Chain A
């Protein structure tokens, strides 16, 4: 039923037609509430959609009920009972389930209980962890998260990632099946598992954000709607897990980066580097929210989390009224800390740039030179660009100029390769966490797929903040 649900019938566009009833935002909570009882994502999703259809049929005549959330939940539960009863494979456990549901429904004198409108926070959090479960591929996690929690149609997801709609629909169906096959429990992991599983959740949100912020597929450089989806999900998560500093750190990072969205391209759509951006076009509202979120993460003792550190770096830029006023010493120190908690050659390269700005080009060059032997950076165009620039600043103009030219050639190649890559992307996977033109840097013997993908993600994420990024 993917793509044929209520929202899908409204053409699935991200335009006013998308959600004529203004009810789509209730779907995630309905699904989450149903999941606790039916333990099957497919059934939960269908019943949630059916409840919305029922609302569309009844509300125009009867008026919107006092407590729409409770009305929808009750309608969805009734639908779940009907389904289970009708089910040809009705088994003993289903009988028990039907009884439990009926009892639950009897206890629910909806309309009277105002608190029922949003009673499903725990269930919603369980749904977050199920959608981002490690048994699923990264692509499946992203698709499932956008579908179940972001309330996007399969068609919207397909368009956002320039993948055919049936591919996404299939991916979601398969993901639901493997969750059921593997018996993934509908729960928030406890103890030691929580940290690891939360990392996966945060990674999925940041991947969605970054696909919007620096699209790997297609000709648009940015897909603002995806950024907004990721930030909305981040805010929901921050509400569900208010004591987790990295959740606030990630949200702060996304909001601080998104605050620069309007200034990242000029009128022709050409990218504008961070230091050249017109800071008057930075979004003060998002900056204010980002700084407050970062402060919250720090108050919760999370100042050294990888996302909080990246947010703190973004905050240094956000606080500087002009590019000249940037506190490079602090940025360099933050990159040093980031290199300690989440070591990566891209972080180190960023540190080289920051150190050069703070302490002079020679110190930065020493760090960059040390990276030349790193195989992962062998074809990373920003390394020669950074080295060339630092050499030029040191007065070694000839060699510097050569390296800058080499960097520019690589950039131009990347730009030329873009439309062709976009066409290929349509046939490929949903998410390709790598910078355009970067695939060649990685041969298969450089490590497991996972390690390679992690590095590719780092390279991409690094791109957003590194020398050539914005």
Chain B
């Protein structure tokens, strides 16, 4: 099963554009990433630029509205993620506990939804959607 390990660094919500982690923190993190890779569990990972370089699209009132970062209302923001493939939630937690994170960081672990996780009726709905796409396209 797949899990996202979401890295939430405190203070990142107000970090200046272009803020980068320290070299020694990166070196420690690289060792951790290697351990994930050597165990065959790492599928993908990325670090994210601070929200001050991003934007949010709000849909309140039924109309998309864009605000540029930083976002005054945000208390916790993402700094990056790992996508891992492990056998259990416990193993995902065990991996997160090995992360050389600082006092200011939190890792949130969330399981990735698979089609089989959805209730029958949702699966049915999705299947109908697939068929629709199927017939709309001329497939030999």
Chain A residues within 8 Å of B, Cβ to Cβ: 14-16, 18-25, 64, 68, 114, 117-118, 121, 151, 228, 231-236, 239-240, 262, 266-267, 275-276, 278, 280-281, 285, 289, 322-324
Contacts and interface: CB of A to CB of B under 8 A. Distances in A.
30 contacts: A15-B88, A19-B88, A19-B91, A21-B90, A22-B91, A22-B95, A24-B87, A25-B41, A25-B94, A68-B98, A114-B31, A228-B85, A231-B40, A231-B85, A233-B40, A234-B40, A235-B37, A235-B40, A235-B41, A235-B42, A236-B39, A240-B38, A262-B115, A266-B130, A267-B124, A278-B133, A278-B134, A280-B133, A281-B130, A289-B43
B89 interface: yes
Q: Does more than half of chain A's interface fall in helix, strand or loop, or is it mixed? A: helix
B75 to A, nearest CB: 29
Contacts of A285: 43-44, 83
Interface residues of B, number: 36
Given A281-B130, A289-B43, A322-B137, A22 B37 contact: no
Contact of B40 (A14, A117, A239): A239
A276 B134 CA distance: 8
A236 B85 CA distance: 13
Contacts of A240: 38
A275 B123 contact: no
B53 to A, nearest CB: 24
Q: Does more than half of chain B's interface fall in helix, strand or loop, or is it mixed? A: helix
Interface in B115-140: 115, 123-124, 127, 130, 133-134, 137-140
Given A275-B139, A276-B139, A289-B43, A19 B87 contact: yes
Contact of A232 (B40, B94, B98, B130): B40
Contact of A22 (B88, B123, B127): B88
A40 B43 CA distance: 34
A20 B90 contact: yes
Contact of B37 (A16, A239, A266): A239
B106 interface: no
Contacts of B8: none
